[in-house]
Amino acid sequence: MRRAKISADEGARLAAVAEYGLSDPKADPRLQEIAGAAARRFEAPVALVTLVRQADQLFVARLGLEEGSTPRDVSFCSHALGSDDLLVVLDAKLDPRFTDNPLVVGPPYVRFYAGAPLRAPSGHIIGTLCVIDQRPRGGFSARDRQALRALGLRAAERMEELRLAHARAAGPARFRPAAAASSEAVACTDAQGRVTFWNEAAARLFDVAASEATGSQLVDFLPSLR
């Protein structure tokens, strides 16, 4: 079994993982819906949204597995951390990285794996959306790849919402830097509906600079709500 290489910036990647504030295997309902959609689309008995931590991979959504996590050193998802694209293993028994992996030779007897990397605003890959089967597959088409990437983007968007929610709960000192770095549009208002915070993604979405938006009524930028 070949263990995944650990990158030189692993410390920064783990810091990015910590920003999500996820530490137990309680599944997020919206991520669970995405995992279910992936399982149906690829007719896979197992679908997971994983967060790869220092010693394990935490399943923040799971379908078809009882375990809430598995050790990182045997996980398929850890091999996706250094990739910018999908990791597809058509038959794990024929892949030297996984042929003697405990998850292949024992439960859950993984033979097929396809995972889309989930990227944090920092650029680090924090985990994957993956589908797993106990049977090998003969191929994974361009349409399949496109569909898995699209579902992976949905999962990454939900993870970003969780990251911002964790920062918001920690207070302004944590929330503003997190929101400023977010790829999602974030705007905050006071009790009178005046904009107090407007990140770069919001500036691009509405084509309005933060300096212009701040102090204005948020509704002024949302004509359908006037």
Reported as a single tens digit per residue, the pLDDT across 120-148 is: 988 899 999 999 999 999 999 999 999 99
Strands 87-89 and 112-119: antiparallel
Give the lowest-confidence range in 13-22, 110-119, 128-137: 13-22
- Higher pLDDT: 121 or 46? It is 46
* pTM score, whole prediction: 0.78
Contact indicator for 94, 88 with CB cutoff of 8 Å: no
Per the prediction, the chain carries an average pLDDT of 86
What number of CA atoms fall less than 13 Å from residue 216's CA on the CB side?
14
Per-residue pLDDT averaged across 57-86, rounded? 89
